[in-house]
Amino acid sequence: MNLTPKSAITIQLVIALLIANAGVTIASSHSFSNPSFQVYQSSGPSFDLTFMPGFADLVPGAEPVTLTLELRVGVTDPDGVSTVIGSYKNNSSSTWTNVSMYQDTTTSFPDDYVAWPLNYTVNEPHFVVIWDIEFYANDSLNTWSMSNVHRLSVCRQGSADTDTDIQPLVIIAIATGLAAGISPTIYLLNRRRAQL
């Protein structure tokens, strides 16, 4: 039986497809199974920093307020996310602190990771607290990546009560100024009357 080159190539392709899809045992005892191929990426996970605000303005007041620092980030990777770590420091400090983060299953975002590492107090004279925050994550291939530094500013203005405490002082100052201006005028008027 003579095969044309085109027919021979077609038969070889059919045999190759049968071997790849059905799995056969060759006489040399090498077995071929149906492997599932997966494409892996070379870079680590990606971060969505919009899960955290850039600032928080608290209700004005003079008394101390205790808050909880919340670290929250979106992390995705086609190879699967293995570990997420949050790192934070007060902007006035040079020491970073790391904390393990966990997937937040209470939200509708499957890539939402969260941690609440500490409580802190906002009070006088520190009514502005600035946190530097960054994130690290690796995927199932142990490829690590790091986010940009995210800055969170927490601010509390003085209360309206503070303004009302200042009002009596302003009234006294105005009254003193008026009295200082009126006194010479009264003196001059009395002196003129005396001359008449």
63 and 120 housed in the same domain: yes
Residue 98 has pLDDT above 80, yes or no: yes
* Range 190-196 contact pairs with CB under 8 angstroms and sequence separation of 24 or more: none
Count of domains in the chain? 3
CB atoms closer than 10 angstroms to residue 122:
18
- The domain in which residue 26 lies consists of 1-37
**Separation between Cα atoms, residue 130 and residue 65, nearest integer Å:** 15
Rounded to the nearest integer, the mean pLDDT of the chain is 76
146 and 170 housed in the same domain: no
* 177 or 93, greater pLDDT: 93
**Separation between Cα atoms, residue 193 and residue 189, nearest integer Å:** 6
Going by C-alpha positions, the residue among 111, 136, 117, 138 that lies closest to residue 71 is 117
pLDDT of residue 124: 75
Helices first, then strands: H and E counts in the chain: 2, 10
**Separation between Cα atoms, residue 62 and residue 123, nearest integer Å:** 7
* 87 or 163, greater pLDDT: 87
Distance in angstroms between the alpha carbons of the first and the last residue of the chain: 150
pLDDT of residue 157: 82
Give the confidence band of 33 by pLDDT, cuts at 50, 70, 90: very low
26 and 65 housed in the same domain: no
65 and 97 housed in the same domain: yes
171 and 145 housed in the same domain: no
Degrees to nearest 5, angle at CA 54 with 51 and 60: 120
**Separation between Cα atoms, residue 37 and residue 101, nearest integer Å:** 31
74 and 26 housed in the same domain: no
Degrees to nearest 5, angle at CA 81 with 134 and 114: 50
172 and 132 housed in the same domain: no
Asked if residue 67 lies in contact with residue 154, where contact means CB atoms within 8 angstroms, the answer is: yes
Residue 111 has pLDDT above 70, yes or no: yes
Going by C-alpha positions, the residue among 49, 59, 63, 50 that lies closest to residue 155 is 59
Instruction: Please give the C-alpha separations between residue 141 and each of 41, 66, 79, 113, in angstroms, as whole numbers.
Output: 9, 40, 7, 19
Helix (H, G, I), strand (E, B) or coil at 122: strand
53 and 145 housed in the same domain: yes
Q: 69 is written with which tokens?
A: 């620092």
pTM, 2 dp = 0.60
pLDDT of residue 172: 52
- Greatest CA separation found in the chain? 150
pLDDT tens profile 126-174: 689 999 999 999 999 999 999 999 999 999 887 655 444 545 554 554 5
147 and 122 housed in the same domain: yes
**Separation between Cα atoms, residue 176 and residue 179, nearest integer Å:** 5
CATH of the domain at 133: 2.60.40
